[in-house]
Amino acid sequence: MRGARSLLDATNTVSIGDADAVADATNRILEKCFGAGSFDRELLHSSFTLVGRLFAGEHPGYLVCDMPYHDLRHSLDTALVMARLIDGYQREQRGSGAFAPEYGLLGVLLGLLHDTGYIRRTSEAALCGPQLTAEHESRSVEFTRNYLRTTSLADHAALASLIIATRFGPDLKQLLAGFEGPAMTLGQMLGSADLLSQISDRCYLERCYYHLYPELVLGGGDRVRTPDGQEQLLYRDAFDLLRKTPRFYENVVRKRLNDDFQQVVRHLTAHFSGADPFAEAIQRNLDRAAHMVAEGRSSLLRREPMTTTRHLAAIYRARPLRPAPGR
C-alpha cells in the first residue's frame, strides 16, 4: 500500500505509475475542456500505449528504459500536468486566444513524449541512459516528430521542436525562435510541466537522493570542466544534491517558471477552481529539504521510492557512487 501511494500524483487522485490510468485522466480533462468527440481520442490512448511499450523495451528498435528518475512515471506525470495547464488556460481565455482541440491533444502528447530521447536504440546497448543527457531533448524531438507524422496530427509534426523548451541553460527565446502565439504558449507550458511534475512529486527528495544523483554521476552532470581543464564537482554526494535543492529552486526553477515561461503555472488555479495543490506540494518539499539541511541528516529521508523502471542497470545499486563525507 505504501508503495502504491508513492505513485500517486500531487492531487492524490491518479496513479502516475499506470499509463492507462493517466490516459483515462487526461482524456476526461480534454473532453471536459473541448467536448467529447472534438479530438482524436484513439490517438491519445494509443500514444500512451506506445510510450508504455517504449519504456518497457517492447518497441521495435529500442532497448528498455534503464533510468530510475527519468522513468515512465515522470513522463506520465508531465502529460497529466500538461492536460491540467491546458484546461486552466482554456477556462481563462476568450475568443481567439483559446486553443483549438488539436492543440490541446498535441500539448499532452508533447508532455508524454518529451523524454523519449533517453531511451537507447538497440545499437546503443553499450551505453546507459544518462550518457544521452546532453542530446536527449533533440533525440526526443526527432522521435516525436517522426511519430506525429504518422498520425492525425501530422500537420503539426514540426511543433515537436517545442520539446526543446525543457532544456536547461540556453536562452528560451533563442530556443523557441520562430514560434509565437499558441505554439509559444504550449512551449512555455511544456517547460513548466516538466519542472512541476518533478518538484511536486510526493517523493521528490527521495527520488533526488536515490535516483537523480546516480543519473547525474553516470551522465557527468555532477561535475563541470573549468576553463583551465580541471574537473570541479557540483555535488559531493547525494546529500549535497539535497543540500543545494532549495537554492536551485529559488535561483533557477522559480526564474524559469516566472520569467522564461511567463507564469503559465497560474492556469492551474483555474483548473482547480481556485486551489493549487502543486504549489502546496512544492512548498512541502522545500520545507522538508530545508529541515534536512538544517539537521544535516539524510536519515530523515523516507525509504527509497518506487520507480516504474523494472530493469535498472547494476550500476544504480552501487552506492555510494562517490565517497561521502562522514555525517
pLDDT tens column, 73-99: 999 999 999 999 999 999 998 666 789
Pick the range with the lowest mean pLDDT from 76-90, 143-157, 168-182, 196-210: 168-182
**At residue 170, what is the residue type?**
P
d(CA 31, CA 186): 18
Instruction: Find the domain containing 86 and state its range.
Output: 2-316
- Give whole-number Cα distances, 317 to 92, 132, 167, 293, 309, in Å: 47, 20, 28, 24, 13
Pick the range with the lowest mean pLDDT from 190-194, 206-210, 229-233: 229-233
- Is 6 strand, coil or helix? coil
pLDDT of 174 = 79
pLDDT > 50? residue 33: yes
Tell me whether residue 216 is in a domain: yes
Report the CATH number at residue 71: 1.10.1300
pLDDT > 60? residue 321: no
- The answer to whether the bond into 325 is cis (omega within 30° of 0) is no
pLDDT of 95 = 64
Tell me whether residue 151 is in a domain: yes
Q: What is the DSSP letter of 304?
A: P
- The mean pLDDT of 189-199, rounded to a whole number, is 98
C-alpha cell at 51: 510510450
- Quickly state the pLDDT bin for 310 (edges 50, 70, 90): confident
Tell me whether residue 193 is in a domain: yes
Instruction: Tell me the pTM.
Output: 0.94
d(CA 285, CA 288): 5
pLDDT tens column, 253-306: 999 999 999 999 999 999 999 999 999 999 999 999 999 999 988 889 999 999
C-alpha cell at 304: 527509497
Q: How many domains does the chain have?
A: 1
Give the chain's end-to-end CA distance (angstroms, integer).
32
Tell me whether residue 322 is in a domain: no
Tell me whether residue 105 is in a domain: yes
Mean per-residue pLDDT over the chain, rounded:
92
- Give whole-number Cα distances, 36 to 3, 62, 101, 154, in Å: 34, 34, 10, 21
Beta strands in the chain (DSSP E): 223-225, 231-233
d(CA 71, CA 64): 10
Instruction: List 225's β-bridge partners, or say none.
Output: 231
DSSP 91-130: HH--GGGSPPHHHHHHHHHHHHHTTGGGSPBGGGTTS-GG
**Residues whose CB is less than 8 angstroms from the CB of residue 282 and which lie 6 or more positions away in sequence, other chains included:** 196, 199, 200, 249
Phi, psi of 88, rounded to the nearest 5 degrees: -60, -40
Tell me whether residue 325 is in a domain: no
Tell me whether residue 225 is in a domain: yes
pLDDT of 325 = 40
- Quickly state the pLDDT bin for 324 (edges 50, 70, 90): very low
Tell me whether residue 326 is in a domain: no
pLDDT tens column, 152-171: 999 999 999 999 999 987 67
- Quickly state the pLDDT bin for 313 (edges 50, 70, 90): confident
